[in-house]
Amino acid sequence: MRLSPALAFAASLIPLPALAQYPGHPRTTPPITAADISARDKAISDDAFEGRGPGTRNGEAAAQWIADELKRIGIRPANHGSYFQPVPSVTIKLDGPASHFTFNTPQGAMNPNFPDAVTYWTPQFAGTDVKVKDAPLVFVGYGVVAPEYDWNDYAGVDVKGKTVVILINDPGNEDNADPKFFKGKAMTYYGRWTYKFEEAARQGAAAAIIVHETIPAAYGYQVVRNSNSGNKSWLDSKDKNASMLPIQGWITLDTALDLFKRAGLDYAREKAAANKRGFAAVSMTGEALSVDAHSAVAHLRTRNVVGVIPGYQHPTDVVLFSAHWDHLGIKPDVAGADKIYNGAVDNGMGVSMVLELAEAFKHDKRPRRTLGFLFWTMEEQGLLGSQYFAEHPLWPRDHIVGVLNTDADGPKGLARDMDLTGNGQSELEAYLADALKTQNRIVSPDPEPEKGGFFRSDHFSLAKFGIPAISPGGGTDLLVGGKDAGKALRDDYTANHYHQPSDEWIASWDLSGPVEDDEALHIVGDTLANDDAWPGWHDGSEFKALRDKTMAGRK
């Protein structure tokens, strides 16, 4: 008998140890409770899953655990009888000791230490070796080409075969940002590191190096280091990513200061110029980059987990709840005794909250529309699992009503609000606002728009295809302590636990906030699943035209 693609994929996975070696499934109840969320988070962030690295034996065991949990609570498989959507991908791991990264300067060679002073990699996988030789350095400011803002950092300069040095975030994002200049402090997609590499490739550069600064990046260099110095994954492609940059990377600010000084440039002065209209790219005279990147390349077997509660009246119209199941795995070279990145908040919490919603909906009256529960792989590698789903959806895009994504809703007490990154774009926000009114709460605008949170979680993959998608976060105006207490919790997590081994489950967590957030999402989902409305995007959103075109051809 010929196996279906999903079953063939499952059969090809590395055999897993006996399930007894993994956490069991907790006893839970249909109501949304702190005890249930905590129990699921404890299980999914257990050391046994070794940080949920996609494609690893123990990471994929975590995906299996989620599928088994869906089955246990009565949620049906969503992909033709399977709880999995295979995501064909490739993993590339730079061999640091066998690779070489050198800035040649008039004062001699600079060999910044990998990964502490430079983190670099190649997305190309036609072979194990990718080389860049004597590629002249050009400072291109923020590396942005944005016609709608009348901005082009590449105007008048040819960077083909060269190395571009780039600032993170948007022009004008720091200090007293003018809201009429780009979006002021609110990051646009032009500020994201992913865009900067994409644009550099379109310009024909051989390499692109981003200068890390904590405030405009919105995270410390340790996040860059930890996220990019191990296995990096990419969706499989016919051209083996030949259209992408040969070399991508980041350098620390100290490394950049030295590099600019050796070129006879003042970093602060050049950065100031890059924030003003009329900026022209600057050749870093006498400096060039040579890289010999030797990597291990392997095809990766990983999968999204997909479950469904079929609707009784409009079963082909789907309201989706989602969260990413993956994290950073194990990093043997990280300082300290703990090498496992458990990701209890990011995103064991999101997984637990979506499972809690699935169980609650299973015991509700059957919805008119279908409810889908999706758990993405490879979010930490650039939203790849959700990107693959968006490119290969299990339902036609014009039948997906909307997406409610949950990512790292941290433990906290009750709040007067619920934050929303990228607020002001989607009509889904009105549904959330109505749900929060029943709790005497409000939607708060993104408290940190400069961090570009809208572009950093899986809902963005769906939004890029015009599908209305939001990713509400926990509130920051806490009933006890107010906004100062909420900010202190957020800042502590970002500085001390985000993408670090210390992101672990704690029994004493106060989860009353996530419970109330989950209850609000339940109200939104129930409303959408039993309505005939099709929420869209507000005027001025970059996603509106695509959705309108998609829905105009709806059958």
Structure-token match 């050009």, residue found: 138
What is each CA distance from 404 to 62, 237, 320, 432, 469, in whole angstroms?
22, 29, 6, 10, 6
- pLDDT (tens digit per residue) in 232-242: 889 999 999 99
- CA nearest to 29, candidates 356, 462, 303, 336: 356
Question: Which CATH code of 1.20.1050.10, 3.50.30.30, 3.50.50.60, 3.90.1150.10 fits the domain covering 92-298?
Answer: 3.50.30.30
Count of H-run helices and E-run strands, the chain: 15, 23
Q: How confident is the model at residue 178 (pLDDT cuts 50, 70, 90)?
A: confident
Structure-token match 């993993």, residue found: 91
In one-letter notation, the amino acid at residue 404 is L
Please tell me the predicted confidence (pLDDT) of residue 5. Answer: 35
Taking the C-alpha atoms of residue 435 and residue 379, their distance in angstroms, rounded to an integer, is: 28
Taking the C-alpha atoms of residue 192 and residue 422, their distance in angstroms, rounded to an integer, is: 14
Answer whether residue 429 shows pLDDT above 70.
Answer: yes
Taking the C-alpha atoms of residue 476 and residue 486, their distance in angstroms, rounded to an integer, is: 4
Answer whether residue 174 shows pLDDT above 50.
Answer: yes
CATH fold of 5-87+302-550: Aminopeptidase (3.40.630)
Per the document, the length of the chain is 555
Taking the C-alpha atoms of residue 457 and residue 192, their distance in angstroms, rounded to an integer, is: 12
Answer whether residue 17 shows pLDDT above 70.
Answer: no
In 46-105, which ranges are continuous DSSP H helix?
Answer: 57-72
Domain boundaries of the chain, sorted by first residue: 5-87+302-550, 92-298
- CA nearest to 349, candidates 145, 231, 493, 226: 493
- pLDDT (tens digit per residue) in 106-147: 999 999 999 999 999 999 999 999 999 999 999 999 999 998
Taking the C-alpha atoms of residue 420 and residue 405, their distance in angstroms, rounded to an integer, is: 11
H/E stretch holding 68 reads helix 57-72
Q: Which residues pair with 169 in a beta bridge?
A: none
Taking the C-alpha atoms of residue 513 and residue 485, their distance in angstroms, rounded to an integer, is: 13
Question: Contact at 8 Å (CB) between 373 and 447?
Answer: no
Evaluate whether 5-87+302-550 and 92-298 have a shared fold. no
Answer whether residue 273 shows pLDDT above 50.
Answer: yes
Taking the C-alpha atoms of residue 321 and residue 458, their distance in angstroms, rounded to an integer, is: 11
> Residue 530 has what DSSP assignment?
T
- pLDDT (tens digit per residue) in 341-376: 999 999 999 999 999 999 999 999 999 999 999 999
Joined together, the tokens standing for residue 171 give 């022009």
- Prediction pTM value: 0.84
What is each CA distance from 518 to 295, 354, 426, 504, 507, in whole angstroms?
42, 8, 20, 21, 19
Please tell me the predicted confidence (pLDDT) of residue 399. Answer: 98
Give me the sign of the Cα torsion angle 232, 237, 243, 246: positive
> Residue 347 has what DSSP assignment?
I
Average pLDDT over residues 183-205: 93
